[in-house]
Amino acid sequence: MRLLVVTQAVDADSSTLGFFVEWLREFARRCEEVVVIGLAVGRHDLPSNVRVLSMGKEKGAGKLTRLFAYWKHLRAASAKVDGVFIHMCPEYLIAGWPFLAAARKPIMLWYAHRQSNWRVRMGERMADVVGTISEGSFPFASPKVRVMGHGIPTERFAPETAAPVPGRLVAVGRISAIKRLELLVDAVGVLRRGGRDVRLELWGEPIMADDRSYKEDLVRRIEAQGLSSAVVFRGSAAYGKMPEAVASASVALNAAPTGALDKAVLEAMACGRPVVATNRNFAGVLGADADRCLASDDPTDIAAKIEAHLDRPDAALGARLRDIVERGHSLKRLAGRILSSYERFRP
């Protein structure tokens, strides 16, 4: 199969989109050729059957220049592929529709976000298939939606990547109010006041203005509880460095509300690390271990679940959590599901 992929970035050093280079590498293992059009292109090391084209954002190209570059690449590539994969940005599908419609190749829109707007709705109409992570990770009902799981590269996120450091708690993700990091800060306060020597590392950066305001509020909250030495902002890191950061945690934390499954939780599970999360949709994923790994929105309950993991380390639990990811959310399985979805459109 020859696949055309359109994405925001092809950059192994990106803290937010570096994972997608792994997706492209897995597509390349299964396809004759992969042509990638990226809004911006940075460092990448991909097989010889992957051709990467840029719209030019990394060189400072303006919006109109990028649009013309996109059209140029689409015109050259769309007629020569067997399928099109649009990653997370329905606007790329809309902007490229004249060329994509003329090529008459099956299109999958991959979208996993709570936000719904006119672009998402129009993209859903234009796509032949919509791929998403889990139930509820696409913002509205559609017969085109296919639940396919996350794509965790379990060879990278693995228990042997690093040894857990006692008392080290880790939370990975954007510094944003939607992540409800104040619950984790308060839980650390409960543990520290109870005599627990724990340290929470927050990996991620604020992106929007509201995120930066939220971080300022979070810093004030940390200082008010005397936790400046116990809660540390580690900033963003290249995606390639995250497996070690996660694998060296004693417990991985995530306070996102109930909704789409957060990739950071599954990455920690792939590393065989115990997790404490507040997203109740993980109950079906965790099965018999849900009670040990899910907490309410009460910081005291979160603290109690963390303490239970610290007091009773369980290698068997770690093995079960990794197995859940390997069976349902590994990158190998996801790539197979994505590519097989094009089969029914073959003549």
Q: pLDDT digits over 129-174, tens only?
A: 999 998 888 999 999 999 999 999 999 999 999 999 999 999 999 9
The CATH class of the 159-328 domain is: alpha beta
Given the candidates 3.40.630.30, 3.40.50.2000, 3.30.360.10, 3.90.1280.10, the CATH classification of the domain at 2-151+330-345 is 3.40.50.2000
- More confident position, 207 or 35: 35
Q: Tell me which residue of 317, 199, 312 sits closest to 269, measured CA to CA.
A: 317
pLDDT-derived band at 124, boundaries 50, 70, 90: very high
Contacts of residue 312, Cβ cutoff 8 Å, sequence gap at least 6: none
Mean pLDDT is lowest, of 250-254, 256-260, 331-335, for 256-260
pLDDT given at position 16? 85
Strand-pair category, 168-172 with 129-132: unpaired
pLDDT given at position 136? 80
pLDDT given at position 115? 81
C-alpha span between 274 and 257 (Å, rounded): 19
Distances (CA, A) of 291 to 183, 196, 282, 285, 320: 19, 22, 11, 12, 14
**Residues in the chain, overall count:** 347
Q: How far is C-alpha 72 from the geometric centre of its chain's CA atoms? A: 30
Contacts of residue 113, Cβ cutoff 8 Å, sequence gap at least 6: 88, 137, 139, 260
**CB-CB contact of 108 with 342 (8 Å):** yes
**CB-CB contact of 104 with 25 (8 Å):** no
Q: Is the pLDDT of residue 298 over 80?
A: yes
pLDDT-derived band at 106, boundaries 50, 70, 90: very high
- Dump pLDDT digits (tens) for 83-95: 999 999 999 999 9
- The pTM assigned to this predicted structure is 0.90
Q: Is the pLDDT of residue 255 over 80?
A: yes
According to CATH, where is 3.40.50.2000 located in the chain?
A: 2-151+330-345, 159-328
Q: What is the dihedral of CA 156, 160, 166, 169, to 10 degrees?
A: 10
Contacts of residue 237, Cβ cutoff 8 Å, sequence gap at least 6: 15, 203, 245
Locate all alpha helices (DSSP H) within the chain, ordered by sequence.
19-30, 63-77, 90-95, 97-103, 118-126, 181-193, 209-224, 242-247, 263-270, 283-286, 290-293, 299-311, 315-328, 331-340
- More confident position, 186 or 239: 186
C-alpha span between 37 and 177 (Å, rounded): 32
